[in-house]
């Protein structure tokens, strides 16, 4: 047997053995910690049934836990082991901690076994580019994003001269990916079919690959990753991204000493400048390509899903369509006017509808989750050891403040009416985070890209409202029920929405 092959085999054996020992220690510690926490459903269901319920009925399971242990910490059994849920009030305890002490990203990465899917990669360069550079420049990109949205609808959507069934999951994936890429990699790469396929395919490989790898025992995953097709494709996705970026990076390198270099204003440049400022010596073209894939993954799919949820809610409640259309026309002074930042700010009814849609159909029923990087003691004395993931059930509608009105009803202008009070004019916005609105998280580690998402959603919904009538297929009279996958809230992909272009 050749020495290179033997080296590979020994590397795999050592990796597996190290993971085995580490997992034994972690599992032993967690079993000791979990033994004192009550488990939802343990008195009536077998462990295998509880795991199945978590996959397909996590919202029901968490409601059961909330009602039975309303003011207490409880745990649920999942295919990945027990998960600890805190009463929502403990979000105040965790709010002050930095991401280096209690990380939402690390918690998310653990759910998708990020050490294998490559998303366990917190970068100060990426975070700074999103939190500072992206948010600072959002107003400069409104017209550009609007242009990409219009271009994408023109090329990707059918004419819709008559009522035409549209698969929103498929079509909006391209729209959101191209609109986002305009800011991430600039023009003309944002219109490259190959780049858009690569950036969207990577996220799908991560999600599917993670679920397949989870079927293997944790001790076997170091070797099993090489037998899961999507896991192999993740590595090729990164190579492909680098290949596609290389010509653009070389072009920019050649123009670095010319005035043309000053015209670049996108995520590529923000990351490169930030890496230089932070003296990140490991930052190179390969790292840049990897961060572009991670940024696209964080942005594209959650934004697409929020738009689909909003469109389902509008199709189910068509009485909101005309008031929203009228608002857009009023703030833009005409249908064909180019959007500007202030127009998006002035779309208060649309903002309210988006927030109410997200309140009823959040990206997750546990949007506040943290992995303790350091040991944390909660205000009730509960000790959270380092390495433990805790989360709050953030989708209890009946916990809304009394001033919001009926918490379980769908009121698309709920937050518009609240903001009409002078003291609330800057509150209750779609991208706002608060104890009562944790859809984007809460505290120091809240989603840094939420303002970007808000702009994208408004621009795309405004385009649809101004250019199309839409409704559900015949026979669908109510808003289709969402589908649960673990704590994720998904719009039913089997539903088609009929579109007809407005003359």
Residue 258: per-residue pLDDT: 63
Residue 259: per-residue pLDDT: 57
Q: Which residue(s) pair with 383 in the sheet?
A: 377
CATH for 14-501, among 1.10.1060.10, 1.10.486.10, 3.30.160.20, 1.10.630.10?
1.10.630.10
What phi and psi, each to the nearest 5 degrees, are found at residue 368?
Answer: -105, 105
Which residues, 6 or more positions from 236, have their beta carbon under 8 angstroms from its beta carbon?
A: none
> Environment class of residue 135 by beta-carbon count within 10 Å: exposed (0-12), middle (13-18) or buried (19+)?
middle
Identify which of 242, 342, 257, 250 has the alpha carbon closest to the alpha carbon of residue 288: 242
Residue 80: per-residue pLDDT: 83
Whole-number Å distance between alpha carbons of 127 and 133: 9
Residue 5: per-residue pLDDT: 47
Residue 444: per-residue pLDDT: 83
Q: Is 376 helix (H, G, I), strand (E, B) or coil?
A: strand
Residue 17: per-residue pLDDT: 47
Within a 10 A sphere around the Cβ of 378, how many other Cβ atoms? 17
CB 25 within 8 A of CB 63: no
Residue 18: per-residue pLDDT: 47
What's the half-sphere exposure (Cβ side, CA atoms, 13 Å) at 306? Answer: 30
Please identify which residue in the block is written with the tokens 């990707």.
156
Whole-number Å distance between alpha carbons of 349 and 328: 9
Q: Where are the domains of the chain?
A: 14-501
Per DSSP bridges, beta strands 74-78 and 468-472 are unpaired
Whole-number Å distance between alpha carbons of 347 and 331: 7
Residue 16: per-residue pLDDT: 47
Identify which of 295, 369, 340 has the alpha carbon closest to the alpha carbon of residue 106: 369
Identify which of 188, 109, 110, 117 has the alpha carbon closest to the alpha carbon of residue 148: 188
Rounded to 5°, the CA angle 61-63-68 comes to 95
pLDDT digits (tens, 9 = 90+) for 196-210: 999 999 999 999 999
Residue 253: per-residue pLDDT: 87
Positions of the chain with pLDDT under 50: 4-9, 11-32
What phi and psi, each to the nearest 5 degrees, are found at residue 430?
Answer: -55, -45
* Dihedral angle computed from the Cα positions of residues 460, 465, 469 and 473, in that order, rounded to the nearest 10 degrees: 50
């Amino acid at each position: 047997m050749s020495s290179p092959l033997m080296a590979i085999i020994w590397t795999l054996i050592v990796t597996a053995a190290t993971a085995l020992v580490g997992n034994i220690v972690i599992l032993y510690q967690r079993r000791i910690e979990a033994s004192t926490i009550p488990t939802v459903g343990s008195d009536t269901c077998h462990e295998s049934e509880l795991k199945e319920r978590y996959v397909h009925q996590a919202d029901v399971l968490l409601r059961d836990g909330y009602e039975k242990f309303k003011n207490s910490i409880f745990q649920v059994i999942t295919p990945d082991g027990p998960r600890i849920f805190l009463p929502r009030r403990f979000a105040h305890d965790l709010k002050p901690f930095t991401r280096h002490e209690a990380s939402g990203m690390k918690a998310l990465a653990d759910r998708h076994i990020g050490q294998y899917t490559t998303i366990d990669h917190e970068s100060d360069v990426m975070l700074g580019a999103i939190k500072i550079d992206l948010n600072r420049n959002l107003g400069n990109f409104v017209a550009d994003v609007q242009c990409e949205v219009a271009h994408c609808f023109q090329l990707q959507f059918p004419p819709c001269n008559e009522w035409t069934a549209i698969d929103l999951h498929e079509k909006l994936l391209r729209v959101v990916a191209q609109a986002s890429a305009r800011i991430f990699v600039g023009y003309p790469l944002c219109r490259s079919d190959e780049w858009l396929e690569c950036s969207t395919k990577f996220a799908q490989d991560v999600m599917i690959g993670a679920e397949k790898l989870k079927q293997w025992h944790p001790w076997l995953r170091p070797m099993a990753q090489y037998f899961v097709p999507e896991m192999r494709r993740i590595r090729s996705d990164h190579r492909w991204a680098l290949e596609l970026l290389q010509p653009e990076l070389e072009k920019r390198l050649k123009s670095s000493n010319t005035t043309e270099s000053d015209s670049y204003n996108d995520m590529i440049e923000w990351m490169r400048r930030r890496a230089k400022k932070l003296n990140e010596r490991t930052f190179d073209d390969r790292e840049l390509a990897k961060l572009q894939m991670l940024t696209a993954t964080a942005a594209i799919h959650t934004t697409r899903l929020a738009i689909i949820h909003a469109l389902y809610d509008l199709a189910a409640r068509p009485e909101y369509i005309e008031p929203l259309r009228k608002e857009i026309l009023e703030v833009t002074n005409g249908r064909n006017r180019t959007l500007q930042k202030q127009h998006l700010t002035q779309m208060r009814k649309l903002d309210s509808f988006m927030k109410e849609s997200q309140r009823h159909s959040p990206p997750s029923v546990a949007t506040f989750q943290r992995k303790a990087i350091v040991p944390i003691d909660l205000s009730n004395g509960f000790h959270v050891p380092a390495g433990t993931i805790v989360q709050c059930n953030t989708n209890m509608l009946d916990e809304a403040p009394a001033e919001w009105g009926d918490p379980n009803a769908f009121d698309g202008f709920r937050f518009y009416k609240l903001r009409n009070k002078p003291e609330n004019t800057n509150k209750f916005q779609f991208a706002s985070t608060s104890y009562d609105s944790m859809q984007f998280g809460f505290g120091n580690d809240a989603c840094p890209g939420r303002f970007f998402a808000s702009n994208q959603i408004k621009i795309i919904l405004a385009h649809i409202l101004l250019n199309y009538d839409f409704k559900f297929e015949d026979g669908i009279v109510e808003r289709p029920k969402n589908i649960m996958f673990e704590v994720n809230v998904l719009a039913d992909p089997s539903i088609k929405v009929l579109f007809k272009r407005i003359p």
